[in-house]
Amino acid sequence: MAEYTWPAAGDRLHIGKHISRLDGPVKATGRAKYAYDVNRRGMLWAVMVQSPHAHARITAIDTSAAEAMDGVVKVQVIQDVGTEIQWAHDEIVAVAATSEEVARDGAAAVKIEYEVLPHFVNERAVDEAPDAQPAQAETTGDPAAAMASAPTKSSGTYHVAQIAHCSLESHGQVAEWQDEETVTLWASTQAISGVASQLGERIGIPASNVHVETQYMGGGFGSKFSVDRWGVVCAELAKETGRPVKLMLDRDQEVTVAGARPSTHAEVSTAADADGNVVAWDSKSWGSGGPAGANSPPLPYVFAFDDQTHMHTSVPTNTGPARAWRAPRHPQACLVTMRALEDLAHAAGMDPLDFFLKNIDKTGERSGTYTEELEKGAELMGWRDRWRPRGSGTGTVRSGLGLALHTWGGRGHRSNCEVLAYRDGLVEARIGSQDLGTGTRTIIALVLAETFGLGLEQVKVTMGRSVLPASGASGGSTTVGGVSGSTRRAALNAVDAVFERIAPRLGTEMANLELKGGQLHFKDGSMAAMPWRQAATLIGVNPVSATGANPGPGQLNDSGVGGIQMADVSVDMETGVVSINRMVAVQDCGLILDMKLAESQVYGSLIMGVTYALTEERVFDPHTGQMLNADMEFYKLAGIEDVGEMIVHMMTGPGYDERGVIGLGEPPVIAPGAAIANAATNATGVPINEMPMTPERVLAAINGGMA
Amino acid sequence: MAQTRYPKTPREEQPEASADSAETTARGPFSRRQFLRGSAAAGAASAGLLSGILDDAAAQGEPGVAGPGAVDMAFKINGKAHVATLEPRVTLLDALRNHLDLTGAKKVCDRGTCGACTVLMNGDPVYACSVLAIEAQGADVTTVEGLGSPANMHPIQQAFVDHDAQQCGFCTPGFIVASAALLNRHPNPDQDTVHRELGGNLCRCGTYAGVRAAVAQAAGGGTTNG
* pLDDT in the model for residue B16: 35
In angstroms, rounded to a whole number, what is the distance separating the alpha carbons of residues A33 and A44? 18
Chain A residue whose CA is closest to B118: A30
pLDDT at A433 over 90: yes
Which among B205, B224, B225 is the top mutation candidate for probing chain A, defined by the most A β-carbons within 10 Å of its own β-carbon? Answer: B205
Q: Which pLDDT score, from 0 to 100, does residue A420 have?
A: 98
- pLDDT for B57 equals 45
A/B interface, count of CB pairs below 8 Å: 194
Query: Can you say whether residue A338 is alpha, beta or left, with left for phi > 0 and alpha for psi between -120 and 50 degrees?
Result: alpha
Q: Using a CB-CB distance cutoff of 8 angstroms, which residues of chain B are in contact with residue A219?
A: 168, 170, 204-205
Do B71-143 and B148-218 agree at the fold level? Answer: no
Asked if residue A183 lies in contact with residue A198, where contact means CB atoms within 8 angstroms, the answer is no
Going from the C-alpha of A415 to that of each of A15, A321, A411, A464, A524, the distances in angstroms are 20, 29, 12, 13, 37
Task: Say if residues A143 and A151 touch (Cβ distance below 8 Å).
Answer: no
Comparing C-alpha atoms, which of A262, A386, A277 is closest to residue A341? A277
| CATH number for the segment(s) B71-143 | 3.10.20.30
By CA distance, what is A633's nearest residue in B? B113
Contact A168 B173 (CB under 8 A): no
- Cβ burial of A309 (10 Å; 0-12, 13-18, 19+) is buried
Q: Do B164 and A597 touch (CB under 8 A)?
A: yes
Torsion of CA A123, A128, A131, A136, to 10 degrees: 80
DSSP B99: I
Largest CA distance in chain A: 90
Region A586-591: what's the mean pLDDT? 97
B161/A24 Cβ within 8 A: yes
Beta-strand (E) ranges in B34-130? Answer: 71-77, 80-86, 118-121, 124-127
Beta bridge pairs of residue A661: A557, A590
Determine whether the interchain pair B210/A600 forms a contact, defined as Cβ–Cβ distance below 8 Å.
Answer: yes
| Contact yes or no for A657/A591 (Cβ under 8 A) | yes
Q: Where are the domains of chain B?
A: 11-59, 71-143, 148-218
- CB hemisphere CA count around A372 (13 angstroms): 16
Cα A403 from chain centroid (whole Å)? 22
For residue A583, give the nearest of A610, A562, A561 by alpha carbon: A610
Query: How much is the pLDDT for A672?
Result: 98
From the list A421, A572, A414, A409, the residue with the least C-alpha distance to A486 is A414
What's residue B4's pLDDT? 38
Instruction: Report, as an integer, the average pLDDT of A513-537.
Output: 96
Q: Which residues in chain A are contacts of B97 at CB distance < 8 A? A: 37, 39
Give the count of alpha carbons within 13 A of B66, CB side only.
16
pLDDT > 80? residue B43: no
What angle is formed at CA A648 by the lines to CA A642 and CA A652, rounded to 5 degrees?
165
- Closest Cα in chain B, distance from residue A492 (Å): 29
Best mutation target, B94, B103, B127, B167, to test chain A (most A CBs within 10 A): B167
Exposure b/e, A187-198, CB count within 10 A at least 16 = b: bbbbbbbbbbbb
Determine, for residues A646 and B225 on separate chains, whether the beta-carbon distance falls below 8 Å: yes
* Nearest CB to A25; choose among B114, B153, B164: B153
8 Å CB contact between A113 and A58: yes
Task: Pick the range with the lowest mean pLDDT from A278-287, A625-634, B3-12, B190-199.
Answer: B3-12
Out of B89, B147, B164, closest to residue A600 by CB? B164
- Per-residue 3-state assignment (H helix, E strand, C coil) for A591-643: CCCEHHHHHHHHHHHHHHHHHHHHCCCCCECCCCCCECCCCCCCCCCCCHHHC
Q: Does B179 touch chain A (CB under 8 A)?
A: no
Query: Any CB–CB contact under 8 A between B27 and chain A?
Result: yes
Ranges A8-17, A309-318, B63-72, B164-173: which has the least confidence: B63-72
| A432: DSSP letter | B
The stretch A589-617 carries a mean pLDDT of 98
Instruction: Quote the minimal CA–CA distance from B2 to chain A in Å.
Output: 14
Q: For Cα atoms A691, A697, A701, give the angle at the middle one, nearest 5 degrees.
A: 110
SS3 B43: helix
Q: Which residues are CB-neighbours of A86 under 8 A, at least 6 positions away?
A: A54, A55, A291, A318
Distance, in Å, from the CA atom of B139 to the CA atom of B144, rounded to the nearest integer, reads 16
Tell which CATH architecture fits domain B148-218: Orthogonal Bundle (1.10)
Mean pLDDT of all residues in B30-52: 41
The pLDDT tens digits of the residues spanning A105-132 come to 999 999 999 999 999 999 999 999 999 9
Q: Which residues on chain B are in Cβ contact (under 8 Å) with A251?
A: 108-111
Chain B residue with minimal CA distance to A630? B109
Spatial neighbors of A342 by CB under 8 A, at least 6 apart, are A352, A402, A678, A681, A682
Protein fold of A9-32+412-550:
Aldehyde Oxidoreductase; domain 4 (3.30.365)
C-alpha–C-alpha distance, residues A653 and A372, integer Å: 13
CATH of A260-410+558-706, one of 3.30.565.10, 3.30.365.10, 3.40.50.720, 1.10.3720.10: 3.30.365.10
ipTM: 0.97
DSSP type of residue A7: P
Strand A544-550 to A561-572 pairing = unpaired
Nearest Cα residue in chain A from B88: A101
Q: How far is B173 from chain A (nearest CA, A)?
A: 6
> Rg of the Cα trace of chain A?
28
Buried residues in A635-662 as b, exposed as e (16+ CB within 10 A): bbbbbbebbbbbbbbbbbeeebbebbbb
Instruction: Report helix, strand or coil for B25.
Output: helix
| Residue B60, pLDDT score | 52
pLDDT in tens, A324-376: 999 999 999 999 999 999 999 999 999 999 999 999 999 999 999 999 999 99
Give me the percent of chain A exceeding a pLDDT of 70. Answer: 99
In this predicted structure, what is the pLDDT of residue B193?
97
- Beta carbons of A604 and B199 less than 8 Å apart: no
Count Cβ atoms below 10 Å from residue A455 Cβ, excluding itself. 13
CB within 8 Å: B111 and A631 = yes
Q: What gap in Å lies between CA A524 and CA A384, rounded to an integer? A: 58
Q: Model pTM greater than 0.90?
A: yes
Closest residue to B161, CB basis, from A20, A30, A45: A20
pLDDT, residue A544, reads 98
Shortest Cα–Cα distance, A23 to chain B (Å): 9
* Subunit contact B98:A108, Cβ cutoff 8 A: no
Q: Which residue of A has its CA nearest to B114?
A: A632
Stretch(es) of chain A classified as CATH 3.30.365.10: 9-32+412-550, 260-410+558-706
pLDDT at B34 over 80: no
DSSP string, B146-208: HH-BTTB--HHHHHHHHTT--SS-SSHHHHHHHHHHHHHH-SS--HHHHHHHTTT---SS--H
d(CA B214, CA B226): 10
Return the pLDDT at B63: 62
Q: Write the CB contacts of B76 (distance below 8 Å, at least 6 apart in sequence).
A: B82, B138, B139, B140, B141
* Min Cα–Cα distance to chain A from B32, Å: 10
Question: Largest alpha-carbon pair distance within chain B?
Answer: 55
pLDDT, tens digit, 9 for 90 and up, residues A398-422: 999 999 999 999 999 999 999 999 9
* Confidence grade of residue A705 (pLDDT, cut at 50, 70, 90): low
Q: Name which of A303, A393, A387, A305 is nearest A353 in CA terms.
A: A387
Provide the pLDDT for residue B62: 57
Q: Tell whether B195 is within 8 A of chain A (Cβ).
A: yes
Q: How far apart are CA A138 and CA A134, in angstroms?
A: 12
Report helix, strand or coil for B98.
Answer: helix
Nearest residue of chain A to residue B193 (CA atoms): A641
Confidence band for B225, pLDDT divided at 50, 70 and 90:
very low
Q: Whole-angstrom Cα distance, residue A555 to residue A257?
A: 40
Q: How far apart are CA B7 and CA B196, in angstroms?
A: 25
> CA separation (Å) from A521 to A1, A6, A71, A512, A618?
17, 20, 66, 8, 61
Residue of A174, A640, A664 to mutate, interface with B, max B Cβ within 10 Å: A640
- Beta strand spans in A517-617 (E): 519-522, 530-531, 544-550, 561-572, 578-588
Work out the mean pLDDT of chain A and round it to a whole number: 97
Binned at pLDDT 50, 70 and 90, residue B221 comes out as low
Does the distance separating the beta carbons of A168 and B204 come in below 8 Å?
yes
Element (H, E) at A211: strand A210-213
The percentage of residues in chain A with a pLDDT greater than 90, rounded to a whole number, is 99
Checking if the pLDDT of B42 tops 80, the result is no
Out of B108, B209, B211, name the one closest to residue A168 (CB).
B108
How do residues A472-511 score in pLDDT, each as one tens digit? 999 999 999 999 999 999 999 999 999 999 999 999 999 9
First-residue to last-residue Cα distance in chain A: 74
In this model, does residue B24 exceed pLDDT 80? Answer: no
Measured in angstroms, the CA of A149 and the nearest CA of chain B are apart by 46
Of B28, B168, B196, the CB nearest to A168: B168
Closest CA to A187 of A252, A100, A246: A246
Q: Which of A39, A99, A646 sits opposite B101 (nearest CB)?
A: A39
Q: Is there a contact between B160 and A633 if contact means CB atoms under 8 Å apart?
A: no
Please tell me the distance from the alpha carbon of residue A476 to that of residue A664, in angstroms, as a whole number.
Answer: 9
Q: What is the rounded distance in angstroms from the CA atom of residue A514 to the CA atom of residue A496?
A: 9
**Under an 8 A CB cutoff, do A632 and B207 touch?**
no
Task: List all residues 6 or more positions away from A261 whose beta carbon is below 8 Å from its beta carbon.
Answer: A162, A163, A164, A165, A289, A322, A325, A328, A331, A332
Nearest residue in A to B211, CA atom: A640
B143 CB neighbours in chain A (<8 A) are 30
Nearest-by-CA chain A residue for B108: A168
**Rounded Cα distance, A350 and B61, in Å:** 76
pLDDT of residue B32: 40
Do B209 and A219 count as a contact with CB atoms less than 8 A apart?
A: no
Shortest CA distance to A237 belongs to which of A194, A193, A173?
A: A173
A chain contacts of residue B150, beta-carbon cutoff 8 Å: 25-26, 29, 31
Distance of CA A80 to the CA centre of its chain: 34
Starting at the earlier edge strand, list the strands of the sheet with A530-531: A513-516, A519-522, A530-531
Interface subset of B 68-127, CB within 8 angstroms of A: 87, 89-90, 94, 97-98, 101-111, 113-114, 116
Determine the residue type at A145: A
Taking only residues 37 to 66 of chain B, the set having a beta carbon closer than 8 angstroms to any beta carbon of chain A reads none
Decide if A198 contacts A476 (C-beta within 8 A).
Answer: no
Closest CA to A570 of A648, A672, A642: A642
**Distance, in angstroms, between B61 CA and closest chain A CA?**
30
According to the CATH classification, is domain A35-118+171-248 in 1.10.599.10? no
Among the ranges given (A562-566, A649-653, A682-686, B65-69), the one the predictor scored with the smallest mean pLDDT? B65-69
Residue B189: asked if its preceding bond is cis (omega within 30°), the reply is: no
CB contact under 8 A, B157 and A32: no
Per-residue model confidence (pLDDT) at position B68: 84
